[in-house]
Structure 1
Amino acid sequence: MNFLFAWRYFKAKKSTNAINVIAWVSMIAIMCITFAFIVVLSVFNGFEGLVKSLYSSFYTDIRISAAKGKVITLTPDQLKQLRSNPQVAHYSLMAEEKTLLLNDGIQVIADVKGVDSNYKYVSGVAEKVYRGSFLTGNDDFPTLVLGNGVENALGVEADKNVFPLTVYLFQRGATINTTDPYRSFAGSNINTAGTFMIQADIDNKFAITNLAFMKRMMNLGADEYSAVEIALVDGRKADQVKASLQTLFGAKYRIETKYEQNKSLYSVMTMEKWATYGILTLMLIVAAFTMIGGLTMLVLEKQKDIQALKAMGADNRLIQKIFLSEGLLLAGLGAAAGIVLALIFCWAQVKFKLIPLEGGTFLIDYYPVKILPEDFILILITVIFVAVLASWFPSRKAALQPIELKT
């Protein structure tokens, strides 16, 4: 019954035209903010999905490294148990160290990863090679796949470089030779084979070669490695697999999921999204003040109706429900219109790429959007909560009006 009264009040012509104007203004404001809610959060989801997919090309589902120091020991028995884990699809052993790369006097510091032949099964780096090929060579003839930023800093084209680079890294267990510091470093020539491009943080830092070469350069033993990276059958079970592997390997090993390897990145993206949600919620609260004004004026307009309803036996609770329903109706219609417009806009952005990304330096040339059902639920809950708060005071004022009997 209360919604029936609310609908009649919404459609009925008011004696004061300002009430209609304020009601429509509040609806349009809620519509615009709901539209902005969905579009902005969907763009955040699109960028988040894009960034995660890029980082997923380099960072694997699980990484096992040393809790202290840089080297771990993996016995044949441990590797056998790792292979027998039904959740482990593939694993790759690696040796990684910060190195100095030289090209005809140009010096660049880069993290060089030595990987085995399984690396292409645990990461997507090989698919991100855009110049040359993903060839890491062997111990006798090593080749290097450079990140795009490292390649630019060295001033080479990896697939056309005639002269080899020189790589230096500090020898494990060596002490600094003050007379000839280079004697404390292992050095070797290495050719380049290709270039990968994933994301600037990765491209500017990493280069990849073969495991045997890096183990020799780092002076590692047969069972010694820097890390082992793992691809899971089901990446959603990473936390469960991490717990089982931690039991297998013990506290001396650091076991990290993909999220934990990039915790700061994911935290920043989450904070940005919630900060945007908070700003839009504040805008919605400001828009709700127009609803408060409109409902307050409607209460004054319908004083005679309130008196009549109370005279016929309506209690304060019913009167309050009527004007609460009026507020929810205004907010609901505005939110529904905003959702429809946002869905149309997001579909058009995906289909026709309405808004391009300026600069031309991105992997995509338009703003990505990704609509998530949980965003709709969150937005609807927020709109309803703000609408109830905005409607509470005018409806309470209407309910507490005394019955005045005129003689």
Structure 2
Amino acid sequence: MYKLFISLRYLRSRKISFFAIAGVAVGVMTLIVVLSVMNGFDQELRSRIRGTLAHIIILKGGMYGLEDHQHVMEKVKSFDHVVACAPYIEGPALIKLRNRREFVYFKGIDPHAESDVSDFRSYIAPFGNQPEDLLQVHGEKKTASVFGGSELFRLGPGEPEKDTGSFIQNGEQIVLVTLKEWDKISVKAFAVVGKFRSGMYDFDKNYVYIPLAVAQELTGSREKNAVSGISVKLDDYRFANEVRDQLQAALGLEYYVQTWEDARKTFLTAVMMERRVMALILFFILVVAGFNILAILTMIVLEKSKDIGILKALGTTTQGVMSIFLLHGLLIGSMGACLGVAAGLSIALRINWLENVLYNTTGWRPFPPEVYYFNQIPTVVSPTSILITAVIAVVSSVVFSIYPALRAARLDPVVTLRYE
């Protein structure tokens, strides 16, 4: 009991110990905030990419090389775990919006089939649209319909669901210019029937949905009934790799079967590596805090050498003296970890509010959506990560206390008290 009492007394009497506590707290807080944001980015990114793609994608050589897709779809539907299929055509285009001209991608879809394999329905629902709206034709010229990304149709600041005047209005015409049969240009007007919002800035800024039949006309592939690919939805994504391999074997090497993770493998791997490297780099903040503890405890040992000599003269064992300073390190680490966890959780759970305050005050946005793809900062607080971070902080504090504890334990009470 006396060991804990002396450790607490040293902690209270030496105000410099609170700087060591602050160092541990800052390290723990930073790790929790960064890991929560990186986990949120990873999870939200996967969710939103998955929403724009299907579980499995079937492609063939060439941009519009998958001919007779109905026959392929019937074959694919016969496999276990396959619940829905949807053909699509995807390609680059130049779009004219009022006086703007931008480079975009169009995706020709069967809206009902697409709703079965992706989150297309949920993307358009906030704007009061249904999938069948894409099949409407307008006027005597039978102008086809188009859904555009909310960021692509943006004219000014505001939310697309509320500030409709800041976006291209329904009924307006846009023009798409695309390649046709690789050596011709195809130009076609479309009538805007709605917007979609996936929450992924890059997709909302660069994509439009048009009817599949119209996309086939634009690309010159209608007669061949060709499409870019087939989207496949499974009843459980855990079987994706197994079904992918089965489909690849059945369809042959001329087809390319991949999961959505395969399609975005490079990007997802980069995000994973960034998260790991960031955690490793920030871990060294705790190492710096540990050296701070070592320096402070070493200084306390030098200043309290008389006290240590008296304790040893009164019969305190070497292990007892070591325990006093190890407990001191444990108290610093524990208090720093608790404060760091509290501060880290407070920031992680209110990070979007803090960013809005900073943006409204200074006009600077730390996480611009055009760079990070999201309209707000996603965070996922992992209890396991918090526990591991706190344990590492406490353990490192104790480890860095070993040297000053050994130095204190080796003091000779005779030498220490000779000149007292």
Class of the TM-score when normalised by the shorter of the 2 chains? 0.7 to 0.9
Q: Secondary structure at the match of 1:100?
A: strand
Q: Aligned match of 1:72 in 44, 66, 71?
A: 66
- 1:231-287 CA distances to partner (integer Å, 9 max, x unpaired)? 333335544443443333344333333334334543454455445434533332222
Shift of 1:375: 1.8
* Correspondence for 1:137: 135
Q: Aligned match of 2:401 in 391, 395, 399?
A: 391
**Greater Cα offset, 393-402 or 187-196:** 393-402
Shift of 1:118: 0.9
Go from structure 1 to structure 2 and tell me whether the alpha carbon gap of 1:364 and 1:270 turns closer, same or farther (over 3 Å shift).
closer
1:232 matched to 2:226? The reply is: no
Go from structure 1 to structure 2 and tell me whether the alpha carbon gap of 1:206 and 1:262 turns closer, same or farther (over 3 Å shift).
same
Q: Aligned match of 2:119 in 115, 121, 124?
A: 124
Mapped partners of 1:166, 1:372: distance in 2: 47
1:9 matched to 2:6? The reply is: yes
Q: Aligned match of 2:109 in 92, 115, 121?
A: 115
* Correspondence for 1:59: 53
Go from structure 1 to structure 2 and tell me whether the alpha carbon gap of 1:243 and 1:44 turns closer, same or farther (over 3 Å shift).
same
Q: Aligned match of 1:91 in 85, 91, 103?
A: 85
Q: Aligned match of 1:170 in 172, 179, 182?
A: 179
Shift of 1:192: 2.6
Shift of 1:325: 4.4
Go from structure 1 to structure 2 and tell me whether the alpha carbon gap of 1:240 and 1:305 turns closer, same or farther (over 3 Å shift).
farther
Determine if contact 1:138/1:213 at 8 Å carries over to the other structure.
Answer: no
Number of paired residues?
384
Determine if contact 1:114/1:209 at 8 Å carries over to the other structure.
Answer: yes
1:248 matched to 2:250? The reply is: yes
Alignment of 1:262-341 (within 5 A): 262-300=264-302, 301=304, 303-304=308-309, 307=312, 323-341=325-343
Go from structure 1 to structure 2 and tell me whether the alpha carbon gap of 1:26 and 1:121 turns closer, same or farther (over 3 Å shift).
same
Mapped partners of 1:330, 1:103: distance in 2: 61
Determine if contact 1:27/1:330 at 8 Å carries over to the other structure.
Answer: yes
Determine if contact 1:6/1:326 at 8 Å carries over to the other structure.
Answer: no
- 1:318-356 CA distances to partner (integer Å, 9 max, x unpaired)? 765664444233212321232244445655x39x95663
- 1:108-154 CA distances to partner (integer Å, 9 max, x unpaired)? 4332111122101222233223557353227976322122344359x
Mapped partners of 1:265, 1:6: distance in 2: 54
* Correspondence for 2:170: 159
Determine if contact 1:148/1:196 at 8 Å carries over to the other structure.
Answer: yes
Alignment of 1:360-375 (within 5 A): 368-375=378-385
Shift of 1:401: 5.0
* Correspondence for 2:163: none
Go from structure 1 to structure 2 and tell me whether the alpha carbon gap of 1:100 and 1:35 turns closer, same or farther (over 3 Å shift).
closer
**Greater Cα offset, 246-255 or 195-204:** 246-255
Determine if contact 2:25/2:339 at 8 Å carries over to the other structure.
Answer: yes
* Correspondence for 1:27: 21
Shift of 1:371: 0.9
Go from structure 1 to structure 2 and tell me whether the alpha carbon gap of 1:68 and 1:141 turns closer, same or farther (over 3 Å shift).
closer
Go from structure 1 to structure 2 and tell me whether the alpha carbon gap of 1:28 and 1:171 turns closer, same or farther (over 3 Å shift).
closer
Go from structure 1 to structure 2 and tell me whether the alpha carbon gap of 1:78 and 1:307 turns closer, same or farther (over 3 Å shift).
farther
Determine if contact 1:59/1:261 at 8 Å carries over to the other structure.
Answer: no
Determine if contact 1:146/1:208 at 8 Å carries over to the other structure.
Answer: yes
- Any unmatched runs of 5+ in structure 2? 156-165
Shift of 1:93: 0.9
* Correspondence for 1:356: 356
Mapped partners of 2:295, 2:276: distance in 1: 29
Mapped partners of 2:10, 2:321: distance in 1: 20
* Correspondence for 1:205: 206
Alignment of 1:216-231 (within 5 A): 216-220=217-221, 222=224, 224-231=226-233
TM-score, with structure 2 as normaliser? 0.73
One-letter code of the match for 1:233? D
Fraction of identical pairs, as percent:
20
One-letter code of the match for 2:78? S
- Any unmatched runs of 5+ in structure 1? 176-183
Mapped partners of 2:10, 2:216: distance in 1: 84
Shift of 1:402: 6.4
Go from structure 1 to structure 2 and tell me whether the alpha carbon gap of 1:149 and 1:306 turns closer, same or farther (over 3 Å shift).
same
Mapped partners of 1:148, 1:320: distance in 2: 65
Go from structure 1 to structure 2 and tell me whether the alpha carbon gap of 1:113 and 1:371 turns closer, same or farther (over 3 Å shift).
same
Mapped partners of 2:310, 2:83: distance in 1: 71
Alignment of 1:37-52 (within 5 A): 37-52=31-46
Q: Give the root-mean-square deviation of aligned CA atoms.
A: 4.1
One-letter code of the match for 1:136? L
Mapped partners of 2:375, 2:296: distance in 1: 44
One-letter code of the match for 2:122? E
- 1:201-245 CA distances to partner (integer Å, 9 max, x unpaired)? 112321111222222332336563211123333335544443443
1:190 matched to 2:190? The reply is: yes
Go from structure 1 to structure 2 and tell me whether the alpha carbon gap of 1:89 and 1:333 turns closer, same or farther (over 3 Å shift).
farther
**Greater Cα offset, 90-99 or 379-388:** 379-388
Shift of 1:372: 0.9
Determine if contact 2:134/2:145 at 8 Å carries over to the other structure.
Answer: yes
**Greater Cα offset, 352-361 or 365-374:** 352-361
Mapped partners of 1:255, 1:399: distance in 2: 67
- 1:17-60 CA distances to partner (integer Å, 9 max, x unpaired)? 4xx22323212321233233323432444455444444343233
